[in-house]
Amino acid sequence: MPAPSSLRSLPGAPVALAGPLVVSAPAALGRESRWLRRVLEAGTGWRVDVVAPSTPADVVLETDPSLRRAAGAAVEGAYRLVVADGVVRVTGDGGAGVFYGLQTLRQLLPDETLRRAPVLAAAQGSSAGRVRRRTGALRIEPVAVVDAPQFAWRGVHLDVSRHFMPKSFLFDLVDLAAFHKLNVLHLHLTDDQGWRVEIERYPRLVEVGAWRRRSPLGHARERRFDREPHGGYYTKDDLREVVAFAAERHVVVVPEIDMPGHVVAAIAAYPELGHSGRPIEVGTRWGVYRHVLNLEPSTIRFFHDVVHEVCEIFPGPYFHIGGDECPTVEWRRSERARAIMAAEGFDDPRRLQGWFSAQIAPAIASHGKRLVGWDEILEAGAPEDAVVMSWRGLEGGVTAASRGHDVVMVPEEWLYFDWSYADDPAEPLAIRGPTPVEKVYGFDPVPAGIPDDRRDRVLGAQCQLWTEYVKTPERAEYQYFPRLCAFAEAVWSQPTLTGARSYPMFEPRLSRHLRRLAALGVNYRPLEGPTPGQSRTWRRPPARGAPPR
């Protein structure tokens, strides 16, 4: 999971792995071999030794740059895994390919080896707490797997503004994304309801902007609120730690600083960024606020400073500016905005959003990064090299690719995981729905309307989790899983090699895969529906011997 391009059984005896286990790897694969040693030692209790190439070993790691071409892959990450003749050999087109091959190896081992400590019976007659080390070998049937990713951008998005998520969950999410061979974590760090990244030059962004006095209860339309302050933020070192952790797993972290709309938290901290100059509070309701940034030179300089500090934290090649849902009410009344429109020849104030993006783009480019934005940036004139995320359906992606932009497909109807799984009162409160696993599995990242000569403009796709109705990591896992498993196969597996996707063929594999998620401690939603502990309404557990509901 996800399905490999090719998997075939080989003749011969099973390969037995036992501790102490020896892994051979060149120095260039130090990151991958160290990671393998950590996870195997944790789950098995074995000692794992990493030795130099050509030393006799149980597991051999190596690279072969020609493997990508041989696998017919256009992007990095191809690998070959061969279990035969007493050895497990993992060959990748580079470090990423080796890492993905090792993730496949983990799925060939018993589920219990995915745990963070060995779960072996206490030795007979021993004192409580002592456990015996595994002495029996793990046997893997001879097999050859050849595999490669379909798309370069295989992303997971997390909104930490509406509800702040602890740093520990970011680590867990990166691990789970990497386990499914996903390679981008998109962090939505700022919005109306909270600013979550430390900016040293402007400390009030977190002193004030990271906290709100209350949050909605129930659906936004009910206009009910709790009485609990909510907030939190990540220090620069917190985020550097997340970036380093992700890099070890070949995951790139993309920061999003939303502008020029969705900025109420920033204006609450620094009222001079807004239009009235008067203090406002950090957003306490969901939805779109009319408050947007003013277009004064001082505001542009302010966000240049923000961009520079954020870019120092995140070394990846992308910087997301948001750019969605930007009302123009305040710009229509602004003398400065009207002057810019007159000077630029704009007849529609929505063009000011493109003007703002053009002022921010040089700061992003100065760090060697590409600007990314939601598909609204097309309406205002997106910068030439911008990457467009198509969220309002497929049309934005078709338009962007036709105009020569690179595209990441993120359409809400398929890939917004804050939507419910089903129209069922037992499902937890969600913003919309339903989006069942089967629908996610059927998603094609390349829309039919994209011209043949622009299809390579689709970098890939990404699943989104907005957190208005997702307050905890446990609930986030429920919303992600098992839909993320279906999404992973949609963006990794090569349909030309594996044949047309068939959910009836996928579902039994997914059902089996859920045992792996259980071993990893994931609060996933069962395929038959939420457990009593996950349900919003009481549902009696099934009678003994009855199938689960």
Res 546: pLDDT: 63
**Residue 26, CB-side half-sphere exposure with 13 Å CA sphere:** 10
Q: What value does the mean pLDDT of the chain take?
A: 93
Residues with Cβ within 8 Å of residue 435, at least 6 apart in sequence = 413, 414, 416, 417, 419, 420, 421, 483
Position 132 confidence tier, pLDDT thresholds 50, 70, 90: very low
Write the DSSP string, 306-349.
Answer: HHHHHHHH--SSEEE----S---HHHHH-HHHHHHHHHHT-SST
List the domain boundaries for the chain: 6-119+134-147, 158-470, 505-541
Do 76 and 96 contact (CB within 8 A), yes or no? yes
3-state DSSP of 265-288: HHHHHCHHHCCCCCCCCCCCCCCC
Architecture, CATH, for domain 6-119+134-147: 2-Layer Sandwich (3.30)
Amino acid at 393: G
Res 129: pLDDT: 43
List, for residues 61-99, the tens digit of each pLDDT value: 999 999 988 766 778 999 999 999 999 999 999 999 999
- Name the strand (E) or helix (H) holding 155: strand 153-159
Res 46: pLDDT: 94
List, for residues 461-501, the tens digit of each pLDDT value: 999 999 999 999 999 999 999 999 999 999 999 875 445 78
Same fold, 6-119+134-147 and 158-470: no
Res 299: pLDDT: 98
Asked which of 44-48, 125-129, 309-313, 433-437 is least confident by mean pLDDT, the reply is: 125-129
CA 170 to each of CA 41, 164, 165, 166, 503: distance values in angstroms, whole numbers, following the listed order? 23, 11, 8, 7, 30
For Cα atoms 120, 123, 126, give the angle at the middle one, nearest 5 degrees: 135
List, for residues 169-215, the tens digit of each pLDDT value: 999 999 999 999 999 999 999 999 999 999 999 999 999 999 999 99
Task: Say yes or no: domain 158-470 is CATH 3.40.50.10140.
Answer: no
List, for residues 220-269, the tens digit of each pLDDT value: 889 999 999 999 999 999 999 999 999 999 999 999 999 999 999 999 99
Evaluate if residue 125 carries a pLDDT over 50: no
Positions marked catalytic:
191, 262, 325
Write the DSSP string, 190-249.
Answer: EETTEE-B--TT-THHHHTTTEES--EESSGGG-EE-S--EE--B-HHHHHHHHHHHHHT
Closest CA to 450 of 399, 388, 377: 399
CA 548 to CA 527: how far, in whole Å? 10
Res 399: pLDDT: 95
Closest CA to 409 of 450, 364, 381: 450
